[in-house]
Structure 1
Amino acid sequence: MCIIFFQFDPHSVSAYRFILAANRDEYYSRPSKPADFWGNNCDILSGLDMEKGKEGGTWLGINKKGKFAALTNYLQPTNRLNVLGRGYLVTNFLTEDVDGLTYLKKISSEGHLYNGFNLITADFNKTKGDTMCYYGSKSGQEPKTLEPGIYGLSNSLLETPWKKLVLGKKLFTDVINRSNELSPENLVQELINVLNNEEVQMPATDIEEQGQDFIRPFLKEISALFVRTSFYGTRTNTVILVDAKGHVNFTERTMLSPDINQWKVSSFQFELEI
C-alpha cells in the first residue's frame, strides 16, 4: 500500500505551485536506495528500486527540467508473474523528452504489459504553464489533465474515498491551509507528521473488497496512513515543495531497511531549469 496527497496550484504567485506528501509502503526485505541524484551531473532525483530484475525503477522522482512522476500499484487479489516492472514507468518519463499527457497516452496502450497501476505526471514550465496528468490502468478511461486542486491517491483509482484517504486528505488540507504561515522547514515537518498518522481506519470495507482474501489477514494494519506489520509497512515519507519561482525543496525520511527503528532524513534543494 502507498498513499499520495498533493496540491496543484499552477497560478500561485506568492506561495507554492505544487506540494506533495507521499508514503511508500513495501516489504522490508526489498532492497532499495534512498533518494539521491543519479550520479555526477545528473538532473534526476529519486529513490531507486534494487530488486533483482527491476533495478533502476522508482516509485517517485523529479528532475531539474521540471518533470515529476509518481506511481502507486492498484490493489488486486492476485498479481500476474513475468510482467514488466511498474517502476520503469516513472524512470522512463523522467528520462524521455516527452510531455506528460503524450507519455500517458502511449502508456495507456501498453497497460496490459503491467499489473494494475496509477501514474501521475507533472511538467513545470514558466513559459508554457504547469500541467499535471493522471492515468489509472484499471479505470477504463483515457489519461486526463488535472484541474488545479487538492488530490489523494492510494492503491485504488484517483480520489477513491477509502477511509484512510479521506482522513489523510483532510489532515493534508488542514496543513495546506496554513502553509503561508509556516516556514518551509515547519511545513515539511507537519506534512511528515500527517504521513506518520497511525490511527486505524476500520471498517475498511472498500479495501477488503478490492483486495479480497489477499488483504484480509493484515487489513487492520494497512487501514492506517502509516502502515506497520511484521514484514511490510511504510518505509519512506517524501515531501516535495515547488514554489512560484521554481525553487524545489525535496525531503525524504526513509527506513534503513530492515530496521524499523532506524531512519535517515535527506534534504535536497535546487532550482528548476525552466
Structure 2
Amino acid sequence: MCIIFFKFDPRPASKNAYRLILAANRDELYNRPSKAADFWANNSEILSGLDLEYGKEGGSWLGISKRGKLAAITNYLEGRVNPEAQGRGFLVTNYLMDKEQDSYSYLRKLSTEGHLYNGFNLITAEFKTKEDIVCYYGNRGSPEPIQLKPAGIYGLSNSLLDTPWRKLEHGKHLFTSVVNNQLLSSDGLVQELLGVLNNRELNTPDPAQESQGKGHSKPLLEALSAVCVCSPHYGTRTNTVILIDAAGNVTFTERTMLNCDTSQWSTSSFQFKLQE
C-alpha cells in the first residue's frame, strides 16, 4: 500500500513559496529488502530508494532526478493479485531514466500495457524552467492519463486519485493545514509533514475501503485505515517529504525504518538544485 499528498504551483506567489510540496508513506512488509534513498551508483542524477526483492531489484516507489523528473506509485487495493504480473516498481525507475518521453507520453504508452500489471496508480511529473507538469494514470480507472491542474491539493492512497476514503480525507485535512501555514520555515514544514505521515488514528469504519478490500482480513483492513499503518509484520516503513522552491532548490527528506523494528528509524536529507 502507500499514501501520497501533494500540492504543486508552477508560479508560486512569492520567492518563499514552493512549486511542489509532497509527503508520502511507503507501506510494505517489514522484512522486504530495500535500499534507503540515495543517488544511484550507476546514475548520479537520480535519487530514490530501491527495491532489492528477488526478481524486482531496481524498482522503486518514489524518486526524483536532477533534471526535474519525478515519479511516485501506489498499489490499488484488490482482493486478489496475479503473482505472475510484471513488477510495478519498474514503472517509476523506467520513467526516471527515460530521456525521450515526457510525463504524459510515458503514461499514454503505459495505458496500452496496463493489463500486464496488478492494480496501480502512477504519478509522473516534470519540473522545468518554462513549465511544471504533473500527470496521473491508474490502470483500474480511466483508460487515458490526465494532466492535473496546478494549485490544487491532491491525495492518492490505494484507490483512484482523490477517492474519498476516510484515511485520505483525514490526511488531506492535516496536510492542508500544514502547507497553508505561511509562518513555517523549510525545516519546520518538513517536521510538520513528517508528523502528518505518522498519524496512526484509525479511520474506521469505512465502507468504501472495506468493499474494495474484500478478501482481506478485518484486522488488516482496520490497520490500513490509518495514514501511518502499523501491524505486526506490515506497515509504514518509509516517510518521504519533497520540497521544490521557486528557484528550483530541492529538499528530499527520508525517514526510514531500521532492522524491521518499528522503534528504530533513521532520517537522511538531500539538497540540490534542478538542472536547466
Q: So what's the TM-score if we normalise by structure 2?
A: 0.96
- What residue is the counterpart of 2:25 in the other structure? 23
What is the CA-CA distance between 1:204 and the residue it aligns to?
Answer: 1.9
Residues paired across the two proteins, number:
272
Mapping of residues 40-51 of structure 1, within 5 Å: 42-51=44-53
Moved more, 264-273 or 205-214: 205-214
Q: Pick the aligned partner of 2:158 from 155, 158, 162.
A: 155
Report SS of the residue matched to 1:266.
strand
The runs of 5 or more residues in structure 1 that have no matched partner are none
For 1:78, the aligned partner's letter is R
Report SS of the residue matched to 1:229.
coil
- After superposition, the C-alpha distances for 1:90-141 in whole angstroms (9 at most, x for unaligned) are 00000001210000001000101110100001101112x0100000100033
2:109 pairs with 1:106: yes
For 1:3, the aligned partner's letter is I
For 1:159, the aligned partner's letter is D
- What residue is the counterpart of 2:123 in the other structure? 120
For 1:266, the aligned partner's letter is S
* In 2, Cα distance between equivalents of 1:213 and 1:135: 25
Report SS of the residue matched to 2:213.
helix
- After superposition, the C-alpha distances for 1:226-262 in whole angstroms (9 at most, x for unaligned) are 1100010000000000001100000000001311111
- After superposition, the C-alpha distances for 1:31-58 in whole angstroms (9 at most, x for unaligned) are 0011000016611000000000000000
**Could you tell me whether the CA contact under 8 Å between 1:208 and 1:215 is conserved in 2?**
no
What is the CA-CA distance between 1:13 and the residue it aligns to?
Answer: 4.5
* In 2, Cα distance between equivalents of 1:141 and 1:252: 33
**Could you tell me whether the CA contact under 8 Å between 1:78 and 1:214 is conserved in 2?**
no
CA 1:48–1:7: 2 relative to 1, 3 Å? same
* In 1, Cα distance between equivalents of 2:219 and 2:242: 33
- What residue is the counterpart of 1:217 in the other structure? 219
What is the CA-CA distance between 1:189 and the residue it aligns to?
Answer: 0.2
**Could you tell me whether the CA contact under 8 Å between 1:49 and 1:57 is conserved in 2?**
yes
2:10 pairs with 1:10: yes
* In 2, Cα distance between equivalents of 1:169 and 1:36: 28
For 1:49, the aligned partner's letter is D
CA 1:228–1:27: 2 relative to 1, 3 Å? same
- What residue is the counterpart of 2:175 in the other structure? 172
Report SS of the residue matched to 1:181.
coil
- What residue is the counterpart of 2:240 in the other structure? 238
% same residue: 61
Q: So what's the TM-score if we normalise by structure 1?
A: 0.97
- After superposition, the C-alpha distances for 1:64-83 in whole angstroms (9 at most, x for unaligned) are 00000000000000000111
